[in-house]
């Protein structure tokens, strides 16, 4: 992705989140210069070490309109660093209409995906087999506390206010149907380095072509 494209996506994401009434921490709009000073102080180690903040990805496919996601990690813990014993994480995600987050499951993370506002969020679900394939078995998920039986590949539609709990091992791909969706994610600890199993292997972070200065740093750019 070009940096100029990422900058545009970030500006639009901030505006869209603003229209929902959701507020981000002040550091969401720190410039790279401000970050340089803040990180040097040592007071923001947690933001850096847990990769909090902005995350724009095209999953390495260079077709952000069709395959991608914009995320903001608000809080997280660590499974390996005792400085950060928090056992939970929270993110905001923005899915554009027709933009797919590719099919994946998490080995350990249990996550609630919540349609906070916007259009309808579609999510296709399968149980995984021990070999990491798409299982042909039916399974159940919890939709706002209601048990829902899923046939393999079922497309669940979540309207604003609705949510689903995804247990570890449940393959999920999702996209906004006709309108951009602001998605909440409340989960156990998030570990993008080790906990994601994509059905078709994907890069988790984009390759960036630096064609202009970064507006804001992405979560893997604090170091
Ligand atoms: Fe996920």
* Domain containing residue 76: 3-198
Give the integer Cα–Cα distance in Å for 11 and 220.
Answer: 18
Q: What is the CATH number of the domain that holds 80?
A: 2.60.120.10
* Interval between CA 6 and ligand 1 midpoint (Å): 22
* Interval between CA 106 and ligand 1 midpoint (Å): 6
CB 202 within 8 A of CB 59: yes
146-159 per-position pLDDT tens digit: 999 999 999 999 99
* Interval between CA 173 and ligand 1 midpoint (Å): 8
Residue 213 lies in a domain: no
Question: Residue 64: pLDDT above 90?
Answer: yes
Residue 207 lies in a domain: no
* Interval between CA 192 and ligand 1 midpoint (Å): 10
CB 220 within 8 A of CB 48: no
Percentage of residues in the chain having pLDDT higher than 70: 100
Residue 30 lies in a domain: yes
Number of structural domains in the chain: 1
Instruction: Determine the average pLDDT of the residues in 160-174.
Output: 98
Residue 185 lies in a domain: yes
* Interval between CA 195 and ligand 1 midpoint (Å): 10
Determine which helix (DSSP H) or strand (DSSP E) holds 118, and give its type and residue range: strand 111-118
86-118 per-position pLDDT tens digit: 999 999 999 999 999 999 999 999 999 999 999
* Interval between CA 77 and ligand 1 midpoint (Å): 17
118-145 per-position pLDDT tens digit: 999 999 999 999 999 999 999 999 999 9
Residue 218 lies in a domain: no
Determine which helix (DSSP H) or strand (DSSP E) holds 175, and give its type and residue range: strand 170-176
What order of strands is seen across the sheet that includes strand 101-106? 154-158, 121-127, 170-176, 101-106, 196-198
Residue 214 lies in a domain: no
* Interval between CA 104 and ligand 1 midpoint (Å): 6
Residue 128 lies in a domain: yes
* Interval between CA 110 and ligand 1 midpoint (Å): 9
Question: What pLDDT, on the 0 to 100 scale, is given for residue 204?
Answer: 85
* Interval between CA 5 and ligand 1 midpoint (Å): 24
* Interval between CA 148 and ligand 1 midpoint (Å): 19
Q: If we measure between CA atoms, which residue out of 131, 112, 141 comes closest to residue 199?
A: 131
pTM of the model: 0.95
Residue 212 lies in a domain: no
* Interval between CA 167 and ligand 1 midpoint (Å): 10
* Interval between CA 63 and ligand 1 midpoint (Å): 20
* Interval between CA 80 and ligand 1 midpoint (Å): 20
* Interval between CA 172 and ligand 1 midpoint (Å): 7
């Amino acid at each position: 992705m070009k940096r100029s494209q990422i900058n545009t996506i970030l500006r639009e994401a901030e505006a869209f989140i603003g229209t929902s009434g959701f507020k981000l921490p002040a550091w969401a709009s720190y410039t790279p210069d401000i970050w340089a000073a803040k990180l040097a102080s040592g007071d923001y180690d947690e933001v850096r070490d847990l990769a909090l903040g902005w995350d724009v990805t095209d999953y390495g496919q260079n077709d952000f309109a069709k395959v991608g996601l914009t995320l903001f990690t608000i809080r997280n813990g660590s499974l390996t660093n005792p400085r950060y014993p928090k056992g939970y994480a929270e993110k905001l995600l923005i899915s554009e209409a027709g933009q797919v987050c590719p099919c994946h499951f998490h080995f350990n993370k249990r996550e609630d995906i919540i349609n906070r506002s916007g259009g309808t969020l579609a999510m296709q679900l399968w149980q995984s087999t021990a070999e990491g394939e798409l299982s042909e078995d039916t399974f159940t998920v919890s939709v706002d506390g209601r048990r829902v039986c899923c046939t393999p590949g079922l497309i669940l539609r979540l309207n604003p206010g609705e949510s689903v709990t995804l247990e570890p091992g449940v393959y999920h791909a999702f996209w906004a149907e006709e309108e951009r969706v602001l998605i909440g994610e409340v989960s156990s600890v998030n570990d993008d380095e080790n906990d994601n199993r994509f059905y078709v292997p994907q890069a988790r972070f984009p390759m960036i072509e630096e064609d202009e200065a970064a507006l804001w740093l992405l979560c893997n750019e604090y170091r």
